[in-house]
Amino acid sequence: MSLTDTAKRAVGLLDLTSLNATDTEETIQALCTKAVTPAGPVAAICIYGPFVALANGLLDQRIGLATVVNFPEGTQDRKTIETDIIAALHAGADEIDLVFPWQAFLSGKRTLARDIVAAARAVCPTGVILKVILETGSLASPTAIREASEAAILSGADFLKTSTGKTAVGATLEAARIMLSVIHDMDPEVGFKASGGVRTVEDAAAYLAVADEIMGPDWATPETFRFGASSLLDDLLKTLGHGSTSAEPSRASY
């Protein structure tokens, strides 16, 4: 597949993201505008909870509205997570990106980690997408990534997501291969999201190639595959001959 074809394919798979301490109403307004691109709409935007109501009033209805919970450390208690999800849903979110309690999981508290995901699933009604952020760079070992992937799926995840983008190691092709293999073996309807360091059309091509290899060439759609990023969109549009966008809410890839 050419880079142009990859760029066309990837625009509609993008969760355009701004998760910065410096976010303002103005940057979120710019993000909502940027989400409708000359090459078509992105799949979703992903923002902090306090901005969800604002974005809900501005965002093109073709585009999903995601927010993060238990973010970024993955150490909040169950009640706080449930409360944050309910508030986000009331404000208009239809996708929840939950950080897996990876620290608890690594310390042996695996039932606790699974229970957090299950609790999040329980407060998300039918139609709300639950993406579970595994923080694979911190899980580190192939065994831990595989076991966390299995635990998240068994607990109700709709998507497995690589990382928060807030740690030293974000998405890697090695982690993606493990996660997609688990999805293939357990439930091909579960999606995959590459997030953290995905910045170029070449990066996007590499992850799509792995997905096509493991899951088949027709599997990766907005319902099953996402890129979580901010700067990636500019490179995709440049590849398609549209130049860079004028509004850039964030340079940090997520």
List active site positions: 97, 161, 193
Report the alpha-carbon distance of residue 129 to residue 199 in Å, rounded: 24
Ramachandran area for residue 179 (φ above 0: left; ψ -120 to 50: alpha; else beta):
alpha
Report the alpha-carbon distance of residue 166 to residue 173 in Å, rounded: 18
Amino acid sitting at position 174: E
Report the alpha-carbon distance of residue 138 to residue 169 in Å, rounded: 7
Residues 6+ apart with CB under 8 A from 86: 123
Report the alpha-carbon distance of residue 209 to residue 111 in Å, rounded: 34
Report the alpha-carbon distance of residue 173 to residue 181 in Å, rounded: 12
